[in-house]
Each structure stands twice: as structure tokens, then as C-alpha cells.
Amino acid sequence: MTLFLHHLPHTKVDENIRFSNILSDGVWFATMKTIFEPNYRKLIDWLTAERKLKNLTQGQLAEKLEFPNHTYISKIETFERKLGVSEFVKICQALELDPHEGIDILIKPGLQY
């Protein structure tokens, strides 16, 4: 995921944010470390595998979720965009999955799906 933060003086910065660049208009360009955590990647891989098992394209899933196109799903599946909790639940519902199964992937190291 790419996160854009406006640079404000005296703003406390979360230590989970790694600053990689400052854009010319003074906006901080940062990436979140969590997308590189192995269990987060397993979670996204699980969602992707389940989408494919149901023979849904990214576009079809995006349509079920009422997104304008497949790009949103593509960016999540390629780790360019971090998946939020409410989005996770909506995707699970669209894929007829139990969100608790996905949470288990995050909190139980070594869990195979």
C-alpha cells in the first residue's frame, strides 16, 4: 500500500511508517511495513486463492463490491494497497467466506489454509 501523509509541523509519526520519499508538493510519500509481514501476505494469498476457486475474475469481484473497476482488487492482490478491516469483511462476504478464518491466518503463525 502507498500512504500519502501531508507534512504538518509537530506531527507525531507512527514508527510503523517508513518514509521513502518526499514529493515535490511537500506531501510525504510512505509505505506501510505491514504489507510485507508474512501472515498479511498469507491472508491476501488466501483471499486471492478463494476468488480464483470460485472462478471469479478481479473485475467480477469488483462488480459484486460495486467498485468502478478491477484495479482496486488488483492493487490489494499485488500488495500495492493495504486491505482495511471493513474492506476485508466486505470481500469475505462477497466471496461467501468466514472472516474469522482469515483472522486465524493473521494470528496463528504457521496456519495452513
Q: What are the tens digits of pLDDT across the range 33-48? A: 566 788 899 999 999 9
Per the structure, the count of domains in the chain is 2
Q: Are residues 52 and 78 in the same domain?
A: yes
Residue 7's domain comprises 2-34
Instruction: Report pTM.
Output: 0.67
E-state strands within 15-91:
17-22, 27-32
Q: Are residues 89 and 53 in the same domain?
A: yes
Burial of 78 (C-beta count, 10 Å sphere; 0-12/13-18/19+): exposed
Q: Are residues 30 and 42 in the same domain?
A: no
Q: Are residues 42 and 93 in the same domain?
A: yes
Q: Does any domain span residue 112?
A: no
List the CATH number of the domain containing 64. 1.10.260.40
Residue 17 binned pLDDT confidence (cut-offs 50, 70, 90): very low
